[in-house]
Amino acid sequence: MHCAHVGATFKTEEASQEENPLKLKSLAVITLIVLGCSAAFGQTFSLGFQGHSGTQYCDYEVVKVSAPYAAGTHNLTTDCGSSVDGVMVGFKAYIPATSGAAVTGTVIEMGDNFVDASYQAYTGCQVDWVTKTKASTLHYGWAVYESCSGGSDFLLNYGYLTTKLGATKQQAGAKITSFGAALAKAGTGTKK
């Protein structure tokens, strides 16, 4: 084994105190670079869906945002009992408050194949999921729009985002998804 000779110098305490401000500045610059690089890698969040009437649904979202793009999973397997999850892909967007939409401001807007995933078949339906990135029960945080067979789209359901993933224990037997409740109410589907 070959070892390199490393020279070492010993400094008096006065010299060390003079170097401390430089070391602190260097440490501060390195910390800022690390934090800046971390922010560039994006944000990941997992949020549950609570209906505008207070129902906690069994499905939830797990999304990674690397602005302006976003991708994620619409979890239908853990609490809802589906055999597959939905796939979400989209981008960061802004919906003005003057639009009249249920969810406004800076949002993540994604296409979602949860209808096809739920029925495990091609349905001809296109779904647009609009979501905020933080839980709140003060303002609506998610909305789902649907269009089938090229027709006009409509607001399927909307509500609040919660940190609770899946249905509460009291509702665990219901296994109602955020979209299934709206489809059942409209008479166009089951409570999947």
pLDDT in tens, 119-148: 888 888 889 999 999 999 899 999 999 988
> Domain boundaries in the chain?
10-41, 43-186
Find the distance separating the first CA and the last CA of the chain, reported in whole Å. Answer: 67
* Averaged pLDDT of the chain: 78
Q: Is the pLDDT of residue 166 over 60?
A: yes
- Separation CA 56–CA 47 (nearest Å): 11
145's enclosing H/E stretch is: strand 142-148
- Separation CA 137–CA 72 (nearest Å): 22
Phi and psi based region of residue 163 (left: phi greater than 0; alpha: psi -120 to 50; beta: remaining): alpha
Mean per-residue pLDDT, 149-162: 86
In contact, 142 and 130? CB cutoff 8 Å: yes
Q: Give pLDDT tens digits for 104-119.
A: 999 999 999 888 887 8
Whole-model pTM: value is: 0.70
